[in-house]
Amino acid sequence: MNIAFKVENLNVFYGEKQALNTINVEIPEKAVTAIIGPSGCGKSTFLRCLNRMNELLPIFRMEGAIIYEEQNIYSKQVDVIDVRRRIGMVFQKPNPFPKSIYENVAYGLRIQGIKKRGRIDEIVEESLKKAAIWDEVKDRLSHSALALSGGQQQRLCIARALAVEPEVLLLDEPTSAIDPIATARIEELLRELEKTYTIVMVTHNMQQAARISAWTAYFLMGELIEFDDTTKIFTNPKDKRTEDYITGRFG
Amino acid sequence: MNQILDTVFKVVGFFMTLLGLVVLGALITDVFMDGLPRVSWDFMTSFPSRRAGKAGIYAAWVGTVWIAILTAFFAFPVGVAAATYLEEYARKNWLTDLIEINIANLAGVPSIIYGLLGLGIFVRWMDLDRSILAGGMTLALLVLPVVILSSREALRTIPASIREASYALGASKWQTIRSQVLPAAMPGILTGSILAMSRAIGETAPLIIVGALTYVSFLPTSPFSAEFPFLNAEGLFDPFSVLPIQIFNWVSRPQQAFAINAAAGIIVLLLITFVMNGIAVFLRHRFQKKIRW
């Protein structure tokens, strides 16, 4: 098993409040890692550390290191724009741009300076196919993305993230705002994408974590309680607190 | 008891609303009855004259259009740039708070003060004399605070999720603002700016101070010329008049015929304002229909 991210002594603060406390973990590559835990436990904060999205908040402060491809992504030599391109992200609420379906996917390419129409067409089609939404939208690429259903919007957001050819996909509760059928489609899609991408997914839904992830991390009040093989976490957790959570005794 | 109060308030409110509408309706009816027969092609294409029957508003409405375009030309880019800086780049500290309060205050400063400022800076110091350019720049100063405030308001309505989506794809701050935030905010920015513009074209006081004329029997030099490069800026330095000043001039004359001319001028000015407000409403409507977050 190869390691994608090596997180070392990560502490995160929002102003005075500490959101994450001394996290040490190694996230394997080309597999789905699920992050579970009750609300406010620091799941999303942790996820957003992995592509430096937290820095958009002025009160954010961190200590420690996150090593990706043998480099601390927080070191001064690293270009944050490059980090975010290589480590893509899909958000909780589908957030397509108020533009056409085509432009949503093409945007990531345009900002990289790709201008050739044919090349962009090609990648747009390829990305929409990878996100399993091509057949539904191929006849209306010029229509507004906001006219799509929630589930379709979320798959479009995945296509948009894939278009810039990232190596990692971070998903922040990607199915919490959409219906069960659309959720099933996205889970199916993630199982497919797992073969080529490292996927880290925050989820509120323990069944979902059990269904699709190979690895699971359990967070509680800013601490990483347990990280292990998903099957082990759900059948034979080492920590009493993990057991309480997955058996539904609280949370 | 509460129900009675409720009913009373409803009735009183209704009559207050009605009062406003009736007064406005009466004013407009009065103006239209006086002026409408006078509005004609001749009236639109004649220069002012000592004889009321021959006088027209050609120079005045052309001046108003020139001034409107120039005001937009100066106020819009500066206002949007300032709003973008304040909203997206500036750190939130006591200095930006101070700037914010001052911009809000500037929006409430009487227009005649801006006229004095324009006279001091543009007419005297920059030596632009009583030109259209000086007038347009003065009105641009006048509407700038309103353009900044409404642009900030529009920028603020763009949800953080759109910015996040852009950053997550590896976009820089400028790319995010230019390609996502500004286009999404543009209908809102335009609505606010056009409303500010329609206030500007009704202004009289600041333009009188910077030296707009009341009797202009020529048009500014046309910006289009027959020879290369086909465009010129000479008109910018010509003296000018605008509709509100022409109207003011006619109203202050004793003859009844000039009062009718004034009413006709008011109708034209109302129409221009009405069209501009219509564009703003249209843009807002399209904005709401096209973009749902």
Between the CA of residue B85 and those of A111, B5, B173, B177, B229, what are the distances in Å?
21, 49, 12, 10, 36
ipTM: 0.90
Please give, rounded to a whole number of angstroms, the shortest distance from the CA of A108 to a CA of chain B.
6
Q: Most confidently modeled of A171-175, B79-83, B269-273, B281-285?
A: B79-83
pLDDT at B293: 47
B171 in a structural domain: yes
* Collapsed DSSP state (helix, strand, coil) of residue A11: strand
Better-scored residue on pLDDT, B226 or B8 = B8
Q: Do A160 and B172 touch (CB under 8 A)?
A: no
Please give, rounded to a whole number of angstroms, the shortest distance from the CA of B95 to a CA of chain A.
17
In chain A, DSSP finds a helix count (H) and a strand count (E) of 10, 10
Between the CA of residue B99 and those of A213, B124, B153, B184, what are the distances in Å?
51, 28, 15, 25
B209 in a structural domain: yes
pLDDT digits (tens, 9 = 90+) for B27-73: 999 988 888 888 888 888 888 887 877 888 888 888 888 888 899 99
pLDDT at B227: 65
Burial B152-163 (b: 16+ CB within 10 A, else e): bbbbeebeeebb
Give the mean model confidence (pLDDT) for residues B171-197: 90
Please report, for the domain that includes residue B149, its CATH number.
Answer: 1.10.3720.10
Between the CA of residue A44 and those of A8, A72, A91, A248, B167, what are the distances in Å?
18, 20, 10, 21, 17
Instruction: Detail the DSSP E strand segments found in A116-247.
Output: 168-172, 198-202, 215-220, 223-229
Distance in angstroms (rounded) separating the CA atoms of residues A89 and B237: 55
Q: Do B166 and A107 touch (CB under 8 A)?
A: yes
Torsion of CA A229, A235, A240, A244, to 10 degrees: 110
Phi, psi of A129 (to 5 degrees): -65, -45
The answer to whether the CB of B45 falls within 8 A of the CB of B267 is: no
- Bridge partners (DSSP) of residue A199 are A32, A169
B95 Cβ neighbours under 8 A, 6+ residues apart = none
Residue B148 confidence (pLDDT) above 90: yes
Residue B223 confidence (pLDDT) above 80: no
Residue B81 confidence (pLDDT) above 60: yes
Between the CA of residue A141 and those of A103, A106, A156, A185, what are the distances in Å?
8, 11, 11, 21
Confidence of residue A168 (pLDDT cuts 50, 70, 90): very high
DSSP secondary structure string, B66-106?
A: HHHHHHHHHHHHHHHHHHHIIIIIS--SHHHHHHHHHHHHH
B16 in a structural domain: no
Which tokens go with B133? 């350019």
B39 in a structural domain: yes
Q: Which of B191, B89, B102, B98 is nearest to B147 (CA)?
A: B191
Q: Which of B269, B265, B268, B260 is nearest to B53 (CA)?
A: B260
What would the CATH number be for the domain defined by A3-94+168-246? 3.40.50.300
Give the mean model confidence (pLDDT) for residues A73-96: 92
Regarding beta strands A168-172 and A3-14, do their DSSP bridges make them parallel or antiparallel, or are they unpaired?
A: unpaired
Distance in angstroms (rounded) separating the CA atoms of residues A222 and A19: 5
Which tokens go with B65? 């259009």
- CB nearest A107 (choices: B161, B179, B290): B179
B215 in a structural domain: yes
Mean pLDDT of chain B: 86
Q: How many domains does chain B have?
A: 1
* Collapsed DSSP state (helix, strand, coil) of residue A18: strand
Q: Helix A150-163 crosses helix A180-193 at what angle (to 10 degrees)?
A: 20
The domain locations on chain A are 3-94+168-246
Better-scored residue on pLDDT, B58 or A124 = A124
Residue B26 confidence (pLDDT) above 90: yes
**Torsion sign (Cα): B133, B136, B138, B140:** negative
- For chain B, the maximum distance between any two Cα atoms, rounded to a whole number of angstroms, is 80
Distance in angstroms (rounded) separating the CA atoms of residues A201 and A207: 13
Better-scored residue on pLDDT, B205 or A123 = A123
B5 in a structural domain: no
- CB nearest A91 (choices: B165, B179, B290): B165
Least-confidence region, from A173-182, B49-58, B117-126, B258-267: B49-58
pLDDT at B12: 94
pLDDT at B228: 67
Confidence of residue B145 (pLDDT cuts 50, 70, 90): very high
Contacts with B, A 174-233, CB within 8 Å: none
Distance in angstroms (rounded) separating the CA atoms of residues B273 and B251: 20
B21 in a structural domain: no
pLDDT at A172: 93
Distance in angstroms (rounded) separating the CA atoms of residues A21 and A36: 16
Range of the domain at B125: 27-220+231-290
B157 in a structural domain: yes
Q: Do A85 and B180 touch (CB under 8 A)?
A: no
Which tokens go with A15? 């102003």
pLDDT at B255: 85
Residue B199 confidence (pLDDT) above 90: no
Q: Which residues of B touch A111 (CB under 8 A)?
A: 169-172, 175, 179
pLDDT at B113: 92
Q: Which residues of A touch B171 (CB under 8 A)?
A: 81, 107-108, 111
